[in-house]
Amino acid sequence: MKMTFRWYGEGFDPIPLQYIKQIPEMTGIMGVLNQYQAGEVWEEAEIKKLVDQVNAAGLECEVIESVNVHEDIKMGLPSRDQYIENYNKTLENLAKYGIKTVVYNFMPVFDWLRTELAHETEDGSNCLYYDHADVEGMTPRDIVELTAKESGGLTLPGWEPERLERLDEVMALYEEIDHAKMRDNYRYFLEGIIPTAEKVGIKMACHPDDPAWDLFGLPRIYRNRDDMDKIAKLYDSQYNGFCICAGSLGSNPENDVPAIFREFGERGLLNAAHVRNVKYLSEKKFHEAPHPSSTGELDMHAIMEAIYDTSPDIHIRPDHGRMIWGETGRPGYPLYDRALGAVYLGGLWESITKFKNR
């Protein structure tokens, strides 16, 4: 297992690489070139610059997250062929600089979605929060505006203004797309890119829809174990795998998260992992919790054990953190609470390793 940390790049992320390096046992980052819009080719010079900069800080850059999938691909528009060609070119370019895994998602229109980005909790910290009742009283445009307002001037991944300019047009087009059609479009994308991923040696790792249910009538197709089984069968390859996000799937109490990690790990399809916790308040209402099991709903030890038993060589990272100790910054991506999460997960790993080898 390699412990990593999501980093948005200089000028986009307030956290210096050196601070990330100071977290014990941190091996590298899950990086991104935030300057590119979905559908654009990532140029070699820019990739090299990122990798060199990360390496100079004593960290590895073996995982990229996210190479965003253009909406036209998800909607199955004729322009998708050009965007798939561009995606392949990006994968080829990334492979030249040592990238081994690409995390992405196939969520329609929105990336992860919350109704509050700075929800105050009892101890005075704040965290990401979701209440489905609030979503039902909102339009898609309301939620875009709310997210932009609460993100403190930083563009959040999947919420780029350029991507959302076409919101009304895109929402209208999705009225014709059901889950089966969305899966067909996904199959077309996988048939277009997995041969390239195999050739250049990059494992693709799809991130779940978050929260793990449909929103605004949009067809979300990665919400649970059965959705994952269908995705795996769209294109049979170890390069068509998953980045299981414990907190995303864990938003729905019906998902047995440790069992999902174990099953897809055993099938050789767990290509990366986000390990974080969530606290249920009532049906479809939750806030994000600190990483330890006792503070939320998920058994983090069982999740780490499933990774240890099935996929011990993957990259993992702590996921969203709370704002604690007065920290401000990118909602969900603070330094302090994610560092606590990383060290906690590292402790579980040491314990599991020693217990199983004595």
Catalytic residue annotation = 207, 245, 274, 319-320, 333
Which 254-293 residues touch Mn ion, going by CB under 5 A? 274
Stretch that binds Mn ion, among 66-74, 92-100, 197-205, 312-320 (CB under 5 A): 312-320
CB of 245 to Mn ion, least distance (A): 3
Laid out side by side, the sheet with 116-120 consists of: 116-120, 126-131, 285-289, 277-282
Check the CA dihedral 136-117-34-165 and report its sign.
Answer: positive
Task: Tell me whether residue 144 or residue 245 sits nearer to Mn ion (CB atom).
Answer: 245
CB of 57 to Mn ion, least distance (A): 23
Cα gap 1→271, rounded to integer Å: 11
By CB under 5 A, residue 164 contacts Mn ion? no
Task: Tell me whether residue 60 or residue 319 sits nearer to Mn ion (CB atom).
Answer: 319
Q: What is the CA radius of gyration of the chain?
A: 19
By CB under 5 A, residue 319 contacts Mn ion? yes
CB of 357 to Mn ion, least distance (A): 30
HSE of 164, CA atoms in CB hemisphere, 13 A:
17
Task: Tell me whether residue 94 or residue 246 sits nearer to Mn ion (CB atom).
Answer: 246
By CB under 5 A, residue 62 contacts Mn ion? no
Cα gap 261→242, rounded to integer Å: 10
Task: Tell me whether residue 274 or residue 322 sits nearer to Mn ion (CB atom).
Answer: 274
Cα gap 103→64, rounded to integer Å: 6
Stretch that binds Mn ion, among 26-34, 190-198, 237-245, 348-356 (CB under 5 A): 237-245
Which position's Cβ is nearest Mn ion?
Answer: 245
**Direct distance between the N- and C-terminal alpha carbons of the chain, in angstroms, rounded to an integer:** 19
* Contact residues for 100 (Cβ-Cβ < 8 A; gap 6+): 62, 63, 201, 202, 203
Stretch that binds Mn ion, among 60-68, 96-104, 150-158, 319-327 (CB under 5 A): 319-327
Could you identify the residue written with the tokens 């998800």? 74
SS3 content of the chain, % helix, strand, coil (to 5): 40, 20, 40
Task: Tell me whether residue 67 or residue 75 sits nearer to Mn ion (CB atom).
Answer: 67
CB of 244 to Mn ion, least distance (A): 9
User: Residue 251: helix, strand or coil by DSSP?
Assistant: coil
By CB under 5 A, residue 337 contacts Mn ion? no
φ and ψ of 128, to 5 deg: -75, 145
Contact 319, 247 (CB under 8 A): yes
**295 dihedral zone (left: phi>0; alpha: psi -120 to 50; beta):** alpha
By CB under 5 A, residue 245 contacts Mn ion? yes
Q: How many residues bind Mn ion (CB under 5 A)?
A: 3
Task: Tell me whether residue 262 or residue 274 sits nearer to Mn ion (CB atom).
Answer: 274
Which 21-50 residues touch Mn ion, going by CB under 5 A? none
* Contact residues for 315 (Cβ-Cβ < 8 A; gap 6+): 1, 2, 4, 28, 30, 62, 63, 101, 272, 273
Stretch that binds Mn ion, among 27-35, 113-121, 139-147, 241-249 (CB under 5 A): 241-249
CB of 310 to Mn ion, least distance (A): 19
CB of 20 to Mn ion, least distance (A): 18
CB of 319 to Mn ion, least distance (A): 4
By CB under 5 A, residue 209 contacts Mn ion? no
Stretch that binds Mn ion, among 3-11, 219-227, 316-324, 331-339 (CB under 5 A): 316-324
The footprint of Mn ion (CB under 5 A) covers 245, 274, 319
